[in-house]
Structure 1
Amino acid sequence: MTSLSVLVPVYNEQHLVSTSLARLEILEGSPHLERVQVVVVDDCSRDATGEVLRAFAAARGVQWLENGPIENGVELCGHGRQGKFHWVFLRHVMNGGKGRAIRTALAEADCELSVIHDADLEYHPRDLVRIVKVFVEEEADAVFGSRFAGGEARRALLFRHELGNRLLTFLTNWVTNVNLTDMETCYKAVRTDLLKSIPIVSNDFRLEPELTIKLAKREARIFEIPISYSGRTYQEGKKINWRDGVKALWAITRFWLSDHVYQEDAYGSQILGRLARAPRFNAWMADVIRPFCGQRVLEIGSGTGNLTRRLVPRNTYVASDINPLYLQTLRGLTVDRPYLDVTLTDVTRGESFPRVEGGFDTVVCLNIIEHVDDDLGALRNVRAALAETGRAIVLVPRGPDLFGTLDEVLGHKRRYTENALVELATQAGFEVQELLHFNRVGTPAWWLNGKLLKRRSFGLLQIKALNLLTPLFRVIDRALPFAPLSIIAVLRPTSARPAAAGAGPDAAAGTDGEPGGPIDPDVSASA
């Protein structure tokens, strides 16, 4: 069972909105839905839409508020419950467009899934029953209802309008490498926490390509199902026109070039997401550590799985992180990888570590311990999860003299010297098998950006250049006269196993009583 928030933007639909909303009550009979929330946003309609909504609400026992509270230009008009349904009626004080109305409705959404439903009669909510079923059975992140994939019924009209839709879908597919049949469909259903974590900026119909492209960049598991469609003519009130098509073309270009796909959050998801846009660099890192990986692997701080994908398959592979958005993406990888498990693991909390019989033979811990206050305790937790003959692969940023603004924005507590890392590993119960120097070419770039220019973000062009030039860097890196930006330590447990940090009564916090810090994705800090 799940729950569904239906987001309904309304503008000048006095003749159709009541029937459109009444159709939603077919969801009452869905065996997969335990609750339905309908959030209606009147986008400052100029006709009698407001009066129609008031009458509709009254017929369902919803109390309508006279001069309801107004916050940020949004008036609360009424809310109430009836059976499975919770109705919420809002009104924009000023017209803002479809995209803004969707953002207003989304802010109120509190169900597991959210879907956009227009206030006209072009789409029928009986298809939402089938859309919800896909989430339940396929572990989807998003499900689009396609008007062109062969629904039960489709009204035949506006051929040139369909050609425009197909062109926009083709171009969106080209920039995302996703094979959708209908990008412009209204019926886009998305897991609510995922949808809320995407920064939507479009106020009009450009919302459609924006949301599609950003979902693709977030590596969402997108499904399509055929739906029925009864499109209306312009004489019947259709609002989208050729000008919106031209705007959509520009939007496709704009959002293709942008990587603004995360809302600002406590985990620095947007910054770390940008760093992850260097797959060739990830491949380089994976190639360096792969010879030391066994068949029972725990990866700490997996991010969205860039390194994970390159190290599997294994007999057992557990990917972990503390960022709930990353965990959601990682779980999507498990559907067709039976050997892969995903769990929340905080390196500072020993009780959060997963266990396997005999212990893991490899723990991969890249760009993690520099984030936490108690790095010694973190390494002891890693030690406790290992088999006696296992290995820990630990990557840390080198060079305290390089510490600058980029380290601060990434949440680094420190940078290491080789001697400091060896001493730390020894205290944690390890002996050093190998110390590898990694990414010398990144050192001058880090010094320039973080120390000299004092930048607090990574330029997208810099990341693209890093990805483009990585094959060259791999060849010349050892010959460069710079100290490495990162050190990779391959560690083996010594015979005496120290107690795991955080295993006692105070396990929920680090040494200073604070929870563990954010975990980097599987990308070296090397922009």
Structure 2
Amino acid sequence: MNRLDRPSDAPQPPEAGAVAPRIAVLIPCYNEELTIGTVVDDFRRALPEADIYVYDNNSSDRTSEIAREHGAIVRFEPRQGKGVTVRQMFRDIEADCYVLVDGDDTYPAEAARSLIEPILSGEADMAVGDRLTNGTYEHENTRAFHAFGNNLVRWLIHWIYGYSFHDVMTGYRAFSRLFVKTMPVLSVGFQIECEMSIQAVDKHWRILEIPIAYRDRPAGSFSKLSTVSDGIRVLVAIGSLFKDYRPLKFFTLAALLFAACGLVAGVPVILEYLATAYVSRVPSAILAAALMFCAALSLSTGAILDTVAKGERKRWELAVYEVQERARRREDGRAR
């Protein structure tokens, strides 16, 4: 299990007479009528004290009707996309601990307790359901290139941020209230899992990865994830967050690329001038000068944006303290 240390305001297990922590199960759904009833029932058994929310994201089948029949709190999100739906869930729902899970019946509800325990005890701010460590994902998953894509994303996050996830794209996670209420969700679609992982690492939240079993979708249920198009969107999101959160590293790499190309174009010109005191390759000389100028400009841009990013991080930290203080006042009011 991996962790990043950070103070947490997660509620402690209630003592006698204390107010029990509120737990919310969040299930974003799009056309999951075959499985949503089973998912809701399983989580009602696994976490009887939890409120179960199903957000229907423009389903054309009976997803919302079936979820309501099985006891879920059903709401509708008209803007298409998993990231948009999760953002609205985070804004709308008040709880002390949140469990986010897909509605496709691929994740075991019985693992929910092991995910929320480190959140409620203050040990973690994000608990990640790791499908890969015990090998069940490799055995059950029938979709080509998904394992390759997961490994590629893991490698990129490790290379950029220096943190190694076992399973970065899992849709089964638990969060503290502080994490949810300070998480700026920017993704629209299936990039949301990758974004949450990067945000957790960048903001130094405490992370635990907990191995879980995984099962493939039942017959007749189809994944909404496109391996190619959504995979490209995930890579674009990683690049965008790399630029935003590690601008000095991002633009230094760009500067090195410009400088290398400038040397390739400029070295023959320099050698010719040293040998003949004459430059016949004027276009190459202009290109080399332009590339070296771009390298210097990129490096300067990275230094400036790095200062801006540090300022944004300070403002975010102050916002976290404000959320913590409001949470303490709310808990004091509940205790009275």
TM-score when normalising by structure 1: 0.42
Structure of greater relative contact order (alpha carbons < 8 Å, 6+ residues apart): 2
1:13 aligns with 2:32: yes
* Cα distance in structure 1, aligned partners of 2:161 and 2:322: 20
Quote the sequence identity (%): 25
Aligned partner (choices 124, 131, 135) of residue 140 of structure 1 = 124
Which residue of the partner structure matches residue 93 of structure 2?
109
1:52 aligns with 2:37: no
1:255 aligns with 2:241: yes
Label 1:104 to 1:327 Cα distance change in 2 as closer, same or farther (>3 A): closer
Amino acid corresponding to residue 26 of structure 1 in structure 2: R
Give the C-alpha shift of residue 246 in structure 1: 1.0
1:199 aligns with 2:196: no
Give the C-alpha shift of residue 11 in structure 1: 0.6
SS in 2 for 1:229: coil
SS in 1 for 2:47: helix
Query: What does the per-residue CA deviation read over 1:209-257, in whole Å, with 9 as the maximum and x for residues that have no partner?
Result: 1111112111101110101101238963012122111110111111122
Asked if 2 retains the 8 angstrom alpha-carbon contact of 1:116 and 1:189, the reply is yes
SS in 1 for 2:50: strand
RMSD: 3.3
Amino acid corresponding to residue 233 of structure 2 in structure 1: K
* Cα distance in structure 2, aligned partners of 1:152 and 1:250: 28
Amino acid corresponding to residue 43 of structure 1 in structure 2: N
Asked if 2 retains the 8 angstrom alpha-carbon contact of 1:142 and 1:191, the reply is yes
1:216 aligns with 2:230: no
Amino acid corresponding to residue 10 of structure 1 in structure 2: C
Label 1:4 to 1:130 Cα distance change in 2 as closer, same or farther (>3 A): same
Give the C-alpha shift of residue 166 in structure 1: 1.4
Amino acid corresponding to residue 108 of structure 1 in structure 2: D
Amino acid corresponding to residue 142 of structure 2 in structure 1: L
Label 1:217 to 1:234 Cα distance change in 2 as closer, same or farther (>3 A): farther
Which residue of the partner structure matches residue 43 of structure 2?
24
Asked if 2 retains the 8 angstrom alpha-carbon contact of 1:39 and 1:89, the reply is yes
Query: What does the per-residue CA deviation read over 1:292-325, in whole Å, with 9 as the maximum and x for residues that have no partner?
Result: xxxxxxxxxxx96xxxxxxxxxxxxxxxx89626
SS in 1 for 2:204: coil
* Cα distance in structure 2, aligned partners of 1:108 and 1:237: 28
TM-score when normalising by structure 2: 0.65
As a proportion of its length, which structure holds more helix? 2
Whichever of the two has the greater Rg, that structure is 1
Which residue of the partner structure matches residue 522 of structure 1?
none
Asked if 2 retains the 8 angstrom alpha-carbon contact of 1:169 and 1:181, the reply is yes
Asked if 2 retains the 8 angstrom alpha-carbon contact of 1:118 and 1:186, the reply is yes
Give the C-alpha shift of residue 158 in structure 1: 3.4
Structure 1 gap ranges (5+) = 30-34, 58-86, 261-270, 279-302, 305-320, 329-342, 344-527
Label 1:114 to 1:139 Cα distance change in 2 as closer, same or farther (>3 A): same
SS in 2 for 1:258: helix
Asked if 2 retains the 8 angstrom alpha-carbon contact of 1:40 and 1:105, the reply is no
